Each structure stands twice: as C-alpha cells, then as structure tokens.
Chain A
Amino acid sequence: GAGVSQSPSNKVTEKGKDVELRCDPISGHTALYWYRQSLGQGLEFLIYFQGNSAPDKSGLPSDRFSAERTGGSVSTLTIQRTQQEDSAVYLCASTPWANNNEQFFGPGTRLTVL
C-alpha cells in the first residue's frame, strides 16, 4: 500500500507569512508524529497524535506552531509568522499503534524562510 505522504515537498516563504504543511499517514495507522530536522542535525520531536486522545504538544518550540489531525487521519502542521530559524525539513511519521515500534516516515517538507 501507499506510504506516508507529505505536501508540499518544498516550500519557500517570506518571513512573517503563515505556512501549512500536510501529512497523509498510512491508512489505518493510529499514531502520527511530527519531527523537525535542521540542516545536518538529528530529528527534533514536535507533536504526537494517538487516536482520539489529546495530542502531546510537548515538543512544539513556540506558540506559533500548531497542528491538527482531522478524522484521525490527515494532519496539518501550521507555522504562523514564520521566522528564518523555522527553516528546516519537517518530517511526519505514523505507526499502527503508539507502542514504540517502527515508525514509517514520509519524505518530508523542506521549508525555507527568506
């Protein structure tokens, strides 16, 4: 079946603009994760959704970042009033259940804030 997909693959925006990044997890996967990866660095956890439970937002770096997951499937990560330090690759991953198993990653969205 199809893997995790993300859109857009690349996004260039001007400082101060809002952006929306989309993630389509693998069908039937109940857990969805967002990570951020700055150039040459490891992944930084942002937010996690599991079923209908309240999301774990502990990794969001500021209140300019928010995410939704509608209908337990598609998720949107929104960054308001983007700053240059927001430039990074934003990766989404899903798992069949949130029990610390293999995570399936999408190809990421490369965000560049000018």
Chain B
Amino acid sequence: SQQGEEDPQALSIQEGENATMNCSYKTSINNLQWYRQNSGRGLVHLILIRSNEREKHSGRLRVTLDTSKKSSSLLITASRAADTASYFCATDDNNAGNMLTFGGGTRLMVKP
C-alpha cells in the first residue's frame, strides 16, 4: 500500500520560479528520500533526509522534514525546463525494515 501522499499531484510553473512539493506519510520512519523520474522509467535518487534531521540542501534542492506532522517538502529553486519530471517521496517503514514505500508522485512541468 502507498504510505506517502504527495501534494500537488501536478504542478506547472515558469522557468526561474520555485517549485514546492509536499509529502505526507503515516507511520514512523528511519528516513525519507526523494526521487525523480523522467518519462515513466527509471528513478534517480535526489536526496535522503534522516528522521533526526529537519532540513537538508543539495544544490538547488532543499528538503524539510517534520516528523511531528509526518510530512516533508521538496523545494526546487530557480527551476529549469530540464527539471520537468515526476518527483516521488519514499519512506522506509520501521516495521517493514527494508523496502521503500512510495507516494503517488508530483508531476512537475517547467515551461521555458
């Protein structure tokens, strides 16, 4: 079953604008990861934030984690047309231990 729920399901912005995507989950976690997927094929890992971290940066990406609200956000600053893709959050469930539980994803379109 899908633990993560992402919001919005689709987002369309102009190049140069910032894009914010949100993810909510239900159970306790060890960490939360964000992945990117182009054209419905392989996923590429973007960033991992552990449950004891609140914010993490990587280039134009900023991820926050609020374990009290069981939510995370991914911010892409100064977006580019090449950022157009689907973005998924994935959590590792303490109970499950090993596999990732993915959200439904946010489809981002950046217009040039």
- Chain A residues within CB distance 8 Å of chain B: 4, 31, 33, 35, 37, 39, 41-45, 48, 50, 56, 59, 89, 91, 93, 98, 100-108, 110
Interface hits, B66-102 → A, CB 8 Å: 88, 90, 92, 97-102
Residues of B within 8 A of A (CB): 2, 4, 30-31, 33, 35, 40-45, 48, 88, 90, 92, 97-105
Which residues from B are CB-within-8-Å of A98? 97-98
Residue of A nearest to B94 (CB): A100
Determine chain A's interface SS by DSSP, over half rule.
strand
> With a CB–CB cut-off of 8 A, which chain A residues contact B105?
41-42
CB A7 to nearest CB in B, in angstroms, measures 13
Write the chain B residue with the least CB distance to A37: B40
Determine the distance from Cα of A50 to Cα of B97 in the docked complex, in whole angstroms: 12
Chain B: interface secondary structure? strand
Give A110 to B2 CA distance when docked, in angstroms: 21
Assess whether B41 is in contact with A107, with CB atoms less than 8 Å apart. yes
Seed contacts A89-B41, A100-B31, A102-B33; 15 additional CB < 8 Å A-B pairs: A31-B98, A33-B99, A33-B100, A41-B104, A43-B88, A43-B102, A45-B100, A45-B101, A56-B98, A59-B99, A93-B43, A98-B97, A100-B92, A103-B43, A108-B42
The answer to whether A105 touches B44 (Cβ under 8 A) is yes
